[in-house]
Amino acid sequence: MTEAFTQIDGGDLNILIVADHASAHVPRDIDLGIDPVLLREHIAVDIGVAEVSAAIARQLGCTAILGGVSRLVIDLNREDDAPGLLPVMSDGHAIPGNRDADVMERMIRFHHPYHHHLSRLLNRMTSPFILSVHSFTPRLASDPEQQRPWEIGVLYNEDDRAARIAIPLLKAVGLKVGDQQPYSGQLLNATMNRHAEANGIPYLGVEMRQDLVRDEAGQRRFVEILGQISLNCHNILA
């Protein structure tokens, strides 16, 4: 057991589900200097992702890796030298405990074990396929006028093989789909760049809108949709 991630062992199917921001956990020895209420908000955790990812793993019979700490402790979906690795501001909220934090210490404790484990798992798999699961807030406090109407977004950098398969399937089940929304995977795609694109591994990167996956009914809906579409992508590409 490690504090850097939680592993869901659903079975041996060669799909790996990756959920960088699945946890709001802050270790007791780390003081972020924020109101604990914020740990239930989108700045700390991708709401609904842990539940959806674990359920898909069990449904499909594959493995899911859930990030073990809040993105405010360290952002697992950032490159080693990225400015936002230890955020000091997030959607208008100051994170004072990160101002003087030891970046290398947190990388060694959380970031390195997480990514090394992903690499080990993928190296053991034959023709793997990755499902990368995130969620996004319908409205940013720092930019309330910005419209985010999509129910799900599909993100990618250079490898859009799975995206091209998934987008029409997502639309066919009635979802309002954002292609490279609410942001572009060409700008922010660190985990998939490292483990998928750099190794030629096909992947589907999705962003679910958080108000749609806050409760069990919404989570079940996305489990059914994403489970089947991921399996379709896997069968075509892996």
Order across the sheet with 152-155: list the strands: 5-9, 63-67, 15-19, 129-136, 203-209, 152-155, 177-179
d(CA 122, CA 125) in angstroms, rounded, equals: 5
C-alpha angle 192/196/198, rounded to 5°? 100
* Confidence (pLDDT) at 36: 95
In the chain, alpha helices (H)? 49-60, 103-106, 112-124, 161-172, 190-195, 216-237
HSE-up of residue 183 (Cα within 13 Å, Cβ side) = 11
Which residue ranges of the chain lie beneath pLDDT 50? none
* Confidence (pLDDT) at 142: 65
Domains in the chain (CATH in brackets) are 5-237 (3.40.630.40)
* Confidence (pLDDT) at 238: 81
Q: Do 23 and 78 meet the contact criterion of CB atoms below 8 Å apart?
A: no
d(CA 96, CA 87) in angstroms, rounded, equals: 9
* Confidence (pLDDT) at 139: 80
Pairing, β 152-155 against β 203-209:
antiparallel
- pTM for this structure? 0.96
The single residue listed with the structure tokens 């489970």 is 227
